[in-house]
Each structure stands twice: as C-alpha cells, then as structure tokens.
Amino acid sequence: MVVGLIGVLALQGGYQRHADHLDRCGVKWCLVRNAETLARCAALILPGGESTAITRLLQAEKLLEPLRRFTQSHPVMATCAGLIMMARSNDARVESLNALDLDVARNAYGRQIKSFQCSIQIDLGTDSDSFPAVFIRAPQIMQYGPSVTVLAQHQGSPVLVAQGWHLGMTFHPELSDDLRVHRYWLERIAALHDAVVSQKESLCKT
C-alpha cells in the first residue's frame, strides 16, 4: 500500500501505540530518534506528548532542522502535540515546523483532568461516519488557510485536517482500536505517490 518505510518520532509521548497500529495495517515502520534514521523514512508520524518537551529534545538531538526539511518533501501524520509542532502555536517555546497552514492554541480544552472521549463525524472520502476520538490536553485549531481541508469538527472547531500529503488532528486516534485514520493516511500517501509517478511518466513520454 505504501512505498517505503514509515517512521514514528520516538523522543517523547505515545509513539508505541502508533507503531502498534502500523503493525496492524501491515506496513514497515521504525522508531526515529536521530537524523540518520529519519533519512531512511518515506513518511513520518509525529505523536502526541508535550510540545515544549519535544521541542527541547529535537534541539538536543540536533533533529529539529532535519525534521523541518523532511516535512517539506515527505508525508507527515501529526497528532495532538505533533499537530502543534507542524502548525503555528500560541506558545513561543514551541518551534514551529511551518508545515501546516494552521494557527493553534495549546491545551485549549484544559488540563489532563479535563480529557475526554467523544464520537465525531469524520469524512475520509467515502460516507461520513463516527469515530471514537480521545482528547487529552488537546490543542484547538483557531484558524486555517485555504489549502487546508477540514475532515472532522468538534463543537464547530476543526479537529482533523489535511493539507497535501500531511494529515493533522487534535485528538489521539492511536488510543482507539479503530484503524481508519491511520489507514486513510497510508492510502492517501499511496494515491498521491502513484499520481506523481504517473505524471512523471507522462512527461517522459512527451
């Protein structure tokens, strides 16, 4: 389904649950803790966690700039803190990767004690259907640009968005047994990759 190795950033946060989902999806994956491993990957998952801590660890491992370059040319799936990193945050301590045209507010729903799960309607290219979304100290998407497609909302705010090869969400799909969000991202990568290859082949023939 996907060409190449899927990386999961493994500096902090709930990366193992994403790896378990990738196993169930039947794709090859690796944990990413340095630039050398990142360079082997065809796509990457940025998991939830604590965005300021992830920023410090990326800087300590000299991984911030390689990751920034990676996001400009490779597909990324970003959940919760990962989404904050990919977007523009209201917290100056977070280094933005500037890969998603979003403005986000950290911890918009409150502290850990106010975490919750609810069913949201998601649009993954077929019929809209419900998905069990887990929100833990979740960010809120305050604004988004014209290149961003909203795939799900909660109480009027976007919680699942797509932009090019990237997929971002404010909730934790890996904490559910439901694989649809991960599968959608993997299928989206495969479809876009096939389209690029087809276009290149057409150009070579002209």
Could you identify the residue written with the tokens 């023939």?
205
Q: Which of 74, 154, 172, 182 is catalytic?
A: 172
Determine whether 174 is an active site residue: yes
Burial class (CB in 10 A: 0-12, 13-18, 19+), 126: exposed
Instruction: Using alpha carbons, select from 99, 75, 67 the residue that is nearest to residue 27.
Output: 75
Q: Which of 50, 166, 174, 182 is catalytic?
A: 174
Q: Which residues of 55-78 are buried (b: 16+ CB within 10 A; e: fewer)?
A: bbbbeeeebbebbbebbeebbbbb
Please give the Cα distance from 111 to 177 (Å, whole number): 24
Q: Is 142 helix (H, G, I), strand (E, B) or coil?
A: strand
Determine whether 193 is an active site residue: no
Q: Cα 69 from chain centroid?
A: 16
Q: Which of 41, 80, 95, 166 is catalytic?
A: 80
The CA dihedral of 68, 74, 79, 82, to the nearest 10 degrees, is -10
Determine whether 21 is an active site residue: no
Catalytic residues: 80, 172, 174
